[in-house]
Structure 1
Amino acid sequence: MAKDEFIIDLDLLDPDKPIADIEAIRAVNPQRHEMEQLTAILYEDLDRNVSAALKEITADEFWVRGHMPGMPLMPGVIMLEAAAQLSSYHASKHDLLGSAMVGFGGLDEVRFRGVVTPGDRLIIMVCLEKVRRGRMIVARFQGAVDGKLVVEGVLRGISIPVEHVTGQASTS
């Protein structure tokens, strides 16, 4: 893939100089522990509704032992979760959806183009192409390792009724 085909010019991204660390991500996103799939935010452009994040892939990831033994490959669904978390972070931080929480609403055109393994630095990029306040977001996303595309697609985020979900959790 040519450099100019990425959502963000990879030369603009410095994984060693993030603009937001894990604590800043936690202030916006609710995921914790093994479900945190972003390490740092690297870039934001509100005019274009574009963001980039880093996910440091370590040997301690919860999936390494079982996916697959002797050949640890980051599951595609976890790559998709990272893209969803970045989309949610961007939409929530800038109150684009008008919702306390953004959840997964669907996926389209997903393609896996390479593997991600422990030791890799996965760069996730999203471009929110449609924002319908109170309803949904549509984001094009890409993931790259060492300048090579490993995943791409389109995801939809929906407004989550937090009060309904938290009410159910307390009665279970």
Structure 2
Amino acid sequence: MKFMRQLLPHLMTSLILSVSMMLLPVQAATINGQEVQDTDWDSLMPADFTPDSLFDSSEFGNLDDYDPMAEARLQAMMAALSSAPVVEAMDGKMVRIPGFVVPLVEEGMKVTEFFLVPYFGACIHVPPPPSNQMIHVTYEPGTNVENLYDAIWISGELKVATVAHELGTSGYKLEAFQIEPYEEE
């Protein structure tokens, strides 16, 4: 199915971001008296979780895009992606994580609410990632997002919370204290 072929390049981008996080020096920054932990996307998934465990994708290749069964399988897949398990131990952690912006609320030129996702195009060009790979972010002052292709760093307190939107469902939310351009360090 076209979906699986389109998803592969985006999963590779997520892998590159995760690997780059392993190479970063440890930051000793603090926000509100809490030490900020550099975090990668893999730490937001339980150790035994893989997106493939949510649904059987082996039948997708045999379905025509216009087959009613394809639509039923897609709806089942979307429901599974929306309820992926989270890591409860991450609740309340002050984190710094890289990702891409999917705007949800814009005020003039500023984005005040968005999903942070591990690869470009998630929720817009392809189906959303699992909910444990999406963070609902609010940033009251708003931030200018000049190019959705550009990755950013977000720092703030991570909470385990489900936020549903027409573009996807996140398993985490974060009130951002700091947003900065992504640069490999």
TM-score when scaled to structure 1? 0.28
Higher helix share goes to which structure? 2
TM-score, normalization by structure 2: 0.27
If you compute each CA radius of gyration, which structure gives the higher value, 1 or 2? 2
